Amino acid sequence: MSPNNFLRGLFDKAVAAADPMICVPAALPAKPPGRVVVVGAGKASARMAEAVESTWGPCEGLVITRYGYGRPCTGIEIVEAAHPVPDEPGLAATRRMLALLDGLGAEDHVLALISGGASALLVQPAGDITLAEKQKINADLLASGAPIDAMNTVRKHLSRVKGGQLAAAAYPAPMTSLIISDVAGDDPAFIASGPTVGDSTTPADARDILERYGISMPASVAAVLSTATGVLPPEARELSKVENAVVAAPSQSLDKAAEQARSAGCTVEILGDAIEGEARDVAADQARRALEIRSRRQPGDAPHLLLSGGECTVTRRGDGTGGPNAEFALSLALALNGQPDIHALACDTDGVDGAAEVAGALVGPDTLARARTHTIHAASMLDRNDSHTFFQKLGDQVITGPTLTNVNDFRAILIGAV
pLDDT in tens, 330-354: 999 999 999 999 999 999 999 999 8
Q: What is Dmax (Cα atoms) for the chain?
A: 70
Percent of the chain with pLDDT over 90: 94
Would you state the pLDDT for residue 320?
95
Would you state the pLDDT for residue 277?
94
Please provide residue 230's backbone torsions phi and psi, each rounded to the nearest 5 degrees. -85, -10
**Segment 359-407, tens digit of pLDDT:** 999 999 999 999 999 999 999 999 999 999 999 999 999 999 999 999 9
d(Cα 213, Cα 143) in Å, to the nearest integer? 10
Per-residue burial over 217-245, b = 16 or more CB atoms within 10 Å of its CB, e = otherwise:
beebbeebbeeebbbbeeebebbebbebe
Would you state the pLDDT for residue 43?
96
**C-alpha 312: how far from chain center:** 10
pLDDT band at 63 (very low <50, low <70, confident <90, very high): very high
| pLDDT value at 184 more than 90 | no
d(Cα 50, Cα 31) in Å, to the nearest integer? 15
Q: Please tell me which residue, 229 or 64, carries the higher pLDDT value.
A: 64
| Domains in the chain with CATH codes | 3-11+251-415 (3.40.1480.10), 31-248 (3.40.50.10180)
Per-residue burial over 47-78, b = 16 or more CB atoms within 10 Å of its CB, e = otherwise:
bbbbbbbeebeebebbbbbbeebbbebeebbb
**For the chain, what's the residue count?**
418
* Mean pLDDT score across all residues of the chain: 96
Percent of the chain with pLDDT over 70: 100
d(Cα 60, Cα 74) in Å, to the nearest integer? 9
Give strand pairing partners of 304: 267, 415
**Segment 236-281, tens digit of pLDDT:** 999 999 999 999 999 999 999 999 999 999 999 999 999 999 999 9
Q: Tally DSSP H helices, then E strands, for the chain.
A: 16, 12
Would you state the pLDDT for residue 162?
96
Mean pLDDT of 47-69: 98
Give strand pairing partners of 334: none
pLDDT band at 148 (very low <50, low <70, confident <90, very high): confident
Give strand pairing partners of 346: 361, 411
Mean pLDDT of 111-140: 95
Q: Letter for the amino acid at 372? A: R
Asked if 55 and 390 count as a contact pair (C-beta separation under 8 A), the reply is no
Q: Which long-range contacts (CB under 8 A, 24 or more apart) does 204-211 make?
A: 205/153, 205/157, 206/153, 206/154, 206/156, 206/157, 206/158, 209/146, 209/150, 209/153, 209/154, 210/137, 210/154
**Segment 13-46, tens digit of pLDDT:** 999 999 999 999 999 999 999 999 999 999 999 9
| pLDDT value at 319 more than 80 | yes
DSSP for residue 125: B
Would you state the pLDDT for residue 229?
77
